[in-house]
Amino acid sequence: MLAHSPSLTLHENGLEIGRGDNAPAYFNYYWLRDNCATSFDPETRERVFDIFAQAAPPTPLEATLDSGELRIVWAGDRHVSTYPLAWLGRHAQAKPRPDPAIMPRKLWYADHYPHIPRFALSALQADRATRKAWVHTLLSEGIALLTDMPDTDQALEDAAFLIGVPRPTFFGLYFDVNLHAKPDNLAYTAKALELHTDVPSEDLPPGVQFLHCRANSAEGGESLFVDGAAVAAELRRTHPEDFALLCETLVPFYDEHDTYDMRARQRVIELDEQGDISGVTISQHMADVFDMDQHFLDRFYPAFCRFGRLLQDPRFLMRFRLNAGECIVFDNHRIVHGRAAFKAGSGARHLRGTYTDRGELRSAWRVLSDEGRFQP
């Protein structure tokens, strides 16, 4: 906060506002002119002032403090800008705007299935508070179950649009997980699926995954889910050097078939700007030949295998049966999933899936929470 009776000192490139016993707050003239309230369209909230078009650096002709505001008359066009001191106080230090979508992650373990928050699709569509609770769950726990899903293609689309726009991959906008006559992915067979995150061979793997169970009467095929952030946290605690190696190293992934050849490099463990674990990327069946220096692999492989074995540790592995009419929704950059093998021909098994992006999930929370919103 700025002082109630602040002082004002003008310099060549900016001005200082005194803050009593605290050090004065300095504001650059370019920044002040660029962030005049008139620089933003009142309807779209987009910036419409073009700082590039200014022939000369912005310079105050007059600058005064009055009634809790800084008032500047700019030289040249004599444009008048006013800035509430409370607003300036929020920007007095070089800190990002508070983001309510950055919240503590609640780690979970093998016993989490009975505690997974469950939300009926109709309730999400009808009630803002329920939708807010769902989005909060996805941000904090990374996983939730939708119930009472109609047995239609439209149901999955309706669910996805509640937090974003369905996001295509090279598999298409939607995909059906069932037996294919000529499978190009292990998911389209009856074989077991190793624990993995989806589509690491794309430059930016999709963020949030939806899997709508349309039928599941086959023998076997239990769903396997692990909180990758919890496993990474355990690795950080027990083997910090391995953890650092997996955070720093780019691993090659690929997915190629007759009509596509996708390749990308990802870090096994992701950290956010605060240094917290934000996710993992792992997929043995889409890992390319590791092309790192062979001496480096002397260190990397033990760390990589230690993390992979930890993912399969019974302390972390949640196993359950996904039922018809349910849709599991989870953070594809955090939650590692797989499937036990099932007996082909023993019953019907059909899951339909799609993705949205994590940025849209965070956007949904900011709107629903109505905190930290833009104020020019």
User: How many domains does the chain fold into?
Assistant: 2
What letter does residue 47 receive in the DSSP assignment? B
What pLDDT, on the 0 to 100 scale, is given for residue 375?
A: 60
Q: How far apart are CA 332 and CA 312, in angstroms?
A: 17
Q: Helix-strand-coil percent breakdown of the chain, rounded to 5?
A: 30, 30, 40
My answer on whether 170 and 300 are in the same domain is yes
Q: How far apart are CA 247 and CA 34, in angstroms?
A: 38
Q: How far apart are CA 56 and CA 29, in angstroms?
A: 12
Q: 189 in a domain, yes or no?
A: yes
Q: How far apart are CA 154 and CA 160, in angstroms?
A: 10
Question: At which residue do the structure tokens 């955070």 appear?
Answer: 247
Which pLDDT tens digit goes with each residue over 190-246? 677 899 999 999 999 999 999 999 999 989 889 999 999 999 999 999 999 999 999
Q: How far apart are CA 18 and CA 7, in angstroms?
A: 5
Q: Are 183 and 189 in contact (CB under 8 A)?
A: yes
Q: 19 in a domain, yes or no?
A: yes
Q: Which domain holds residue 77?
A: 8-90
pTM (predicted TM-score): 0.90
List Cβ neighbours of 273 (8 Å cut-off, separation of 6 or more): none
Q: 1 in a domain, yes or no?
A: no
**Across all residues in the chain, what is the average pLDDT?**
93
H-only helix segments in the chain: 29-34, 85-90, 121-126, 128-140, 153-161, 228-238, 240-248, 294-311, 358-369
Q: Are 322 and 193 in contact (CB under 8 A)?
A: no
Q: 59 in a domain, yes or no?
A: yes
* 267 confidence band (pLDDT: 50, 70, 90): very high
Q: 375 in a domain, yes or no?
A: no
Which pLDDT tens digit goes with each residue over 356-367? 999 999 999 999
Q: 3 in a domain, yes or no?
A: no
Residues above pLDDT 70, as percent of the chain: 94
What pLDDT, on the 0 to 100 scale, is given for residue 372?
A: 52
My answer on whether 189 and 41 are in the same domain is no
Q: Are strands 250-256 and 261-267 parallel, antiparallel or unpaired?
A: antiparallel
Q: Are 230 and 111 in contact (CB under 8 A)?
A: no
My answer on whether 83 and 207 are in the same domain is no
Q: Give the mean model confidence (pLDDT) for residues 42-71.
A: 95
Q: How far apart are CA 15 and CA 58, in angstroms?
A: 12
Edge-to-edge strands, sheet with 69-74: 60-66, 69-74, 80-84
> What is the torsion angle, in degrees rounded to the nearest 10, for the CA atoms of residue 287, residue 307, residue 171 and residue 214?
140
pLDDT exceeds cutoff 70 at 163: yes
